[in-house]
Amino acid sequence: MDYIAAMTSELTTPDGRYIVIQGRLWRAANPSLPAAAKVRHMRELLNGRRALKAAKTSGDEEAIAAARKLIAAAQAGLGERGKVWWKDGAPDYNRTLAKNSPYADWFARVDSRAQAASAA
């Protein structure tokens, strides 16, 4: 899989808890979040990312810190950070390499299929 395809493909674990980007698990948004809340948090996230870009460009350290707080709050609201959204007590593997997680066998199968498809 080439670099751009790996960056833009969104592979979701069978239980829907994580998306896989470049072989790393990232916690997915809470699927039971009401649509209006999801839209609100996504807007806050995108606004925060735009603010962070502008703050970095200007070199304003206070604005950078404020933008990062906005981003963190939006991600927590989506369920991507903070307390896990699932209720079965399973641990959080956020940011873990898929090959080093309980999803390793699943990921090896999916990744080998993706590599075979890109080679064809």
pLDDT digits (tens, 9 = 90+) for 46-62: 999 999 999 999 999 99
**How large is the C-alpha radius of gyration of the chain?**
17
Amino acid 107: pLDDT: 94
Say if residue 5 is in the same domain as residue 36.
no
Say if residue 48 is in the same domain as residue 17.
no
Mean pLDDT by 10 residues, the chain (120 residues): 50 95 95 96 97 97 98 97 95 96 94 67
- Burial letters for 57-91: b for 16+ Cβ neighbours within 10 Å, e otherwise? eeeeeebbeebeebbebbbebbbbbeebbeeeeee
The single-letter code of the amino acid at 22 is Q
Say if residue 94 is in the same domain as residue 65.
no
Say if residue 41 is in the same domain as residue 75.
yes
pTM of the model: 0.79
How many domains, in total, are found in the chain?
2
| Domain, as residue range, for 63 | 32-79
Say if residue 13 is in the same domain as residue 43.
no
Assess contact for 13 and 103: CB atoms under 8 A: yes
